[in-house]
Structure formats: structure tokens, C-alpha cells
């Protein structure tokens, strides 16, 4: 009974906070738009039999017909992929430097990495508006140095979205890679160098493979939330940035087309299931290897 009670806690959590809301959204995605409250039909008041009779998949068919939605999915996948790649390129050297820093400095460096989480996410994103605008800090600095003669247009472009995503999710990349590198036995690199490898060869042949689990975990932790990101493309990307999270918000709150918005959310979740399952399998293999 104690084992059952222990296992029941996460299952009940998933049941009430994931499965039930997902079923409600899926039910709405099979409904039709209606000028009512809530703005869809049928509802539970019509009875189970009547709901089942009126359910259809026309909202999912509409997503395939209107190119706006599949372009938004492809654009979101592209932005999430390259944002993850850039975050890895920036985060790995930082995690490596933290792992090789003196022991007494590591706690301070760790605190500096997680320090942005002490500030509201919205405030941090709004701060980038002031930095990236035409008369913002970045353009003023570049003009003062003499690298540019006129302000660069960065805000309301995809470049601003990449900057915002990389800045926001950088700690999620650094922390798992740092955890992997911190457990790495430095004597393995020394042994590789004794056997004739240069430092760079030892890094690519020893350090990178042994930190693979941290790299995979960090990439998933960045890619999964970045794919459905809404705040950053809305505030930094402007109207020209096409991401599915932004389309989802507009369908729910601007167009009030809850059935189509629910269909968009269901498809997005199905896309996210693939990296989530891969991430869980990687975590399971890592746990089994440590045992």
C-alpha cells in the first residue's frame, strides 16, 4: 500500500493537471464555433449522445488547408532548432569554464547563472526592448564605438527573437551540461594526452562524448519550451514573426475561435510529444548507466 500510495501521487498529478485538461481541449477541438458562452458547440448540457453526434475533425482539416498554420509550425520548428543550437554554442563554453573553475568559485558562478530567475520573466523581456530598439543601449554603444553610422533595425525581427530565446533559456542549457562536466574525471583527459592526443583532440574524443547526456538534456530543455514560445515573439518579434504560440494566442483571445485554437494546441502537443519521449528515454538510460 505504501508503494502504491507513492506511485499514485505523480499519476494523480498527471491525471488532473495534464490528462483531464488535454481531454477538454481535445473535446473543444472537435466542436464548432458558436456565438455563445462558451463560444463553441456542443457542450455537456446537450448530453453525451448529442456531443458525440456533432463531433467532427473539420478543424484539423482546416489547419492543413490554410497555409498560415503549417507555415507557423515550420517557422516555430526552425526558430526553436536554431535557438537551441545557438544556446548550446554559448552555453557549453560557459558550463565548461564553470566546471574547470576553482572549487571556491563554483557556487558563485552557479548563483550568477540562476540570478536572472530572481527577476520577473516579463520584466527581463521588456528590458530587451530598451536594449534592442533603434535608440536603445546596443545601437548607442555600437555608434559610440564607431562600428556603425546609423542605428540597426534589430527589434521586431527574428534576430531579436533569437536573442530573447537564447538569453531566457541559457541557464537551462548550462546547468545540465555543468552537472555532466562536474562529474567528469579530469585524469581521463590527462591519460588521452599521455597517449598522444593534443588538448583539442582530448576535448573532442573524451570531454564531449562524456558530457553527451548533459548536452542532450540541455537541448531538450531549451527546444521544447522554445517551440511553443509566445511572449518573446510577441514582444520582440512584432507582427512579422510567425510562431505557433503567437497564432494560438490570437485564435483564443482575438478571433475567439476556440475550436480552431484547440486544434492548433492539440497538434502542437503531438509535435512536442516526440522530443519529450526522447528526453525521458535519455534520462532513463542515464539513470540506468549510473546504477
Tell me: the pLDDT tens digits for 108-139? 999 999 988 888 889 999 999 999 998 889 99
* DSSP code of residue 101: S
Please name every residue paired with 55 in a beta bridge, in sequence order, or none if there are none.
none
Domain of 122: which CATH number?
A: 1.10.3720.10
* pLDDT at residue 263, as a whole number: 93
The answer on 90 and 224 residing in a single domain is yes
72 shares a domain with 197: yes
pLDDT at 285 over 80: no
Structural domain boundaries enclosing 36? 23-56
What's the rounded Cα separation, in Å, for the pair 135 and 150? 10
Sign of the dihedral defined by the CA atoms of residues 126, 233, 60, 265, in that order = negative
CA 197/CA 190 separation, integer angstroms: 9
Say if residue 48's pLDDT is above 70.
Answer: yes
52 and 161 within one domain: no
Q: How far apart are CA 126 and CA 244, in angstroms?
A: 21
Q: Do residues 104 and 198 share a domain?
A: yes
CB 130 within 8 A of CB 123: no
How far is residue 52's CA from residue 273's CA, in Å, rounded to a whole number? 26
C-alpha–C-alpha distance, residues 245 and 265, integer Å? 9
* Residue 81 backbone phi and psi in degrees, to 5: -65, -50
Beta-carbon contacts of residue 272 (< 8 Å; ≥ 6 apart): 224, 227, 228
Report which secondary-structure segment, H or E, holds 3: helix 2-14
Q: What is the DSSP letter of 127?
A: H
DSSP symbol at 39: S
Determine the pLDDT at residue 291: 63
Rounded to two decimals, the pTM is 0.86
Q: Report the percent of the chain where pLDDT is more than 70.
A: 98
Overall domain count for the chain = 2
Q: Is residue 15 assigned to a domain?
A: no
Same-domain status, 45 and 89: no
Amino acid at each position: 500500500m505504501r508503494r502504491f500510495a507513492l506511485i499514485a501521487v505523480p499519476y494523480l498529478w498527471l491525471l488532473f493537471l495534464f490528462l483531464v485538461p488535454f481531454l477538454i481541449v481535445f473535446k473543444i477541438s472537435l466542436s464548432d464555433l458558436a456565438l455563445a458562452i462558451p463560444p463553441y458547440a456542443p457542450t455537456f448540457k446537450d448530453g453525451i449522445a448529442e456531443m458525440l453526434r456533432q463531433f467532427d475533425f473539420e478543424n484539423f482539416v482546416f489547419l492543413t488547408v490554410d497555409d498560415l498554420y503549417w507555415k507557423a509550425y515550420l517557422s516555430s520548428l526552425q526558430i526553436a532548432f536554431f535557438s537551441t543550437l545557438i544556446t548550446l554554442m554559448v552555453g557549453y563554453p560557459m558550463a565548461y569554464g564553470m566546471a574547470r573553475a576553482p572549487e571556491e568559485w563554483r557556487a558563485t558562478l552557479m548563483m550568477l547563472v540562476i540570478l536572472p530567475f530572481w527577476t520577473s520573466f516579463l520584466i527581463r523581456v521588456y528590458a530587451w526592448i530598451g536594449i534592442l530598439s533603434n535608440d536603445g543601449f546596443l545601437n548607442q554603444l555600437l555608434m559610440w564605438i564607431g562600428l556603425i553610422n546609423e542605428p540597426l533595425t534589430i527589434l521586431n525581427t527574428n534576430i531579436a527573437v533569437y536573442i530573447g530565446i537564447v538569453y531566457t533559456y541559457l541557464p537551462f542549457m548550462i546547468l545540465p551540461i555543468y552537472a555532466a562536466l562536474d562529474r567528469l574525471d579530469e585524469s581521463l583527459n590527462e591519460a588521452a594526452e599521455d597517449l598522444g592526443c593534443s588538448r583539442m583532440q582530448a576535448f573532442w574524443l573524451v570531454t564531449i562524448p562524456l558530457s553527451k547526456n548533459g548536452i542532450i538534456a540541455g537541448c531538450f530543455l531549451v527546444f521544447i519550451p522554445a517551440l511553443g514560445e509566445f511572449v518573446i515573439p510577441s514582444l520582440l518579434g512584432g507582427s512579422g514573426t510567425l510562431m505557433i504560440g503567437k497564432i494560438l494566442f490570437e485564435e483564443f483571445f482575438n478571433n475567439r475561435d476556440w475550436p480552431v485554437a484547440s486544434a492548433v494546441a492539440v497538434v502542437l502537443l503531438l509535435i512536442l510529444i516526440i522530443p519529450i519521449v526522447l528526453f525521458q528515454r535519455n534520462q532513463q538510460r542515464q539513470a540506468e548507466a549510473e546504477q
